[in-house]
Chain A
């Protein structure tokens, strides 16, 4: 089977509809966060769900398209961070493939790894495209580290990792708990799930 055929088979109709609803879950996750006033983002539930069920390519597509569509609807800043969302989906799919989504402690470690990987991609975008601030509440953390004498690059890196690590651990654990409890009739056809359920 060639790579192209393999990719095409990953994008069957079932996976396509999963990605479409996952994009919307990501967007309304922000609405849930607004209601609960938690200091996290909660905008990656759908991306991590697709990464676990359908693999890294579908997960990356869900993340990338979420931010592009979000950028089109309300927030162009989100579109600039589309590569970050792509990395979250790809990292989730790969971590699941390597068996790091089988036990709860592995899921916590995976959340930390996802936060670390996305930091590597997000920091250059935030520093070079936005001068370090993006209009989010975390800008004040960047300013705080800057006042402490850190360079802009390290201030942004500390802020991005710090604000994402709790978010990604919480998101990964919640999605994992939901996926573990899903009935078979909802998960048949998602071949990547075998790496999570064992």
Chain B
């Protein structure tokens, strides 16, 4: 098992919080470099995870980065805008801003997807439970991750069922709006039935929202990871403070 998979899920979440604030301190190109570095490190320590991670990162960040760069560089009005064609302008300030923003978002996407792909939701749930987090919070974070795929499949099933009754995709906006009701109404009703059943099962097992319990199968954790988590979260606050201070200085 690789180091990425062995880390306690809480340590990975703390690293994510730290990175989200750290990238705010980086200049545009450095944030892209940071994203590449994180990707390379994850790929190096877990060759199975690397290609999957790269594919997901590209799927998420390419459209986002293209749109942000285009709008910031060509469409938004910046002080240094030079006429390009018709209402279009070229702005170096806009280009740098777009580059910075997309680099920051890409960095966070890389880390969040690495965390998600290397952490089974059940393991996250047990780690939070073992750490004494309120069971309600642990349940609310991990449970949606566990049931998301089944709900996506359910939407498809509802769609197919409505199509067999004569409903068709497309048409006028009003027809499509009616389609929203046809799809969402059965989804909400079946979700409420499932929530009811789940609450009965949880109640039968003695689940309570707040009291602390021990876990039967604890996720491995080490004392050093506790200190790493503390340091990462503390650093993220310091970084956010520095960013706020720099921003306030620029406004004075």
Residues of B within 8 A of A6 (CB): none
Is B177 touching A38 in the complex (CB atoms < 8 A)?
A: yes
Q: Once bound together, how far apart are the Cα atoms of A152 and B79, in whole Å?
A: 12
Q: Once bound together, how far apart are the Cα atoms of A8 and B16, in whole Å?
A: 29
State the A residues within 8 Å of B (CB): 8, 11-14, 16-25, 27-29, 31-32, 35-38, 42, 45, 49, 61, 65, 68-69, 71-77, 128, 130-136, 139-140, 142-143, 146-147, 152, 170, 174-175, 177-178, 182, 185-187
Q: DSSP majority for the A interface?
A: helix
Residues of A within 8 A of B169 (CB): 35-36
Q: Mark B136-179, 1 if CB is under 8 A from A, else 0.
A: 10011101110110011001000100000000011001001101
B121 to chain A minimum Cβ distance, whole angstroms, is 10
Q: Give 6 new A-B contacts, CB below 8 A, not counting A16-B136, A65-B140, A140-B75.
A: A13-B207, A36-B179, A73-B116, A76-B105, A131-B101, A147-B87
Residues of A within 8 A of B16 (CB): 72
Interface residues of B in 180-214 (CB under 8 A from A): 180-181, 183-185, 187-189, 191-196, 198-199, 202-203, 207-210
A25 to chain B minimum Cβ distance, whole angstroms, is 6
Interface centre among A17, A31, A133 (most CB of B within 10 A): A17
A69 to chain B minimum Cβ distance, whole angstroms, is 6
Whether, in the assembled complex, B133 has its beta carbon less than 8 Å from a beta carbon of chain A, the answer is no
Is A135 touching B191 in the complex (CB atoms < 8 A)?
A: no
Which bucket holds chain B's interface residue count? 35 or more
Q: Once bound together, how far apart are the Cα atoms of A57 and B155, in whole Å?
A: 28
Is A174 touching B181 in the complex (CB atoms < 8 A)?
A: yes
Residues of A within 8 A of B198 (CB): 17, 20-21
Q: Once bound together, how far apart are the Cα atoms of A134 and B180, in whole Å?
A: 25
Q: Once bound together, how far apart are the Cα atoms of A29 and B183, in whole Å?
A: 9
Is B180 touching A13 in the complex (CB atoms < 8 A)?
A: no
Is A21 touching B195 in the complex (CB atoms < 8 A)?
A: yes
Contact of A182 among B139, B145, B187, B189 (CB under 8 A): B189
Whether, in the assembled complex, B71 has its beta carbon less than 8 Å from a beta carbon of chain A, the answer is yes
Residues of A within 8 A of B196 (CB): 14, 17, 185-186
Is B180 touching A28 in the complex (CB atoms < 8 A)?
A: no
Is A186 touching B141 in the complex (CB atoms < 8 A)?
A: no
Q: Once bound together, how far apart are the Cα atoms of A163 and B91, in whole Å?
A: 27
Is B64 touching A31 in the complex (CB atoms < 8 A)?
A: no
Is B97 touching A131 in the complex (CB atoms < 8 A)?
A: yes
Is A170 touching B177 in the complex (CB atoms < 8 A)?
A: yes
Q: Which residue of B lies closest to A72 (CB)?
A: B112
Is B184 touching A174 in the complex (CB atoms < 8 A)?
A: yes
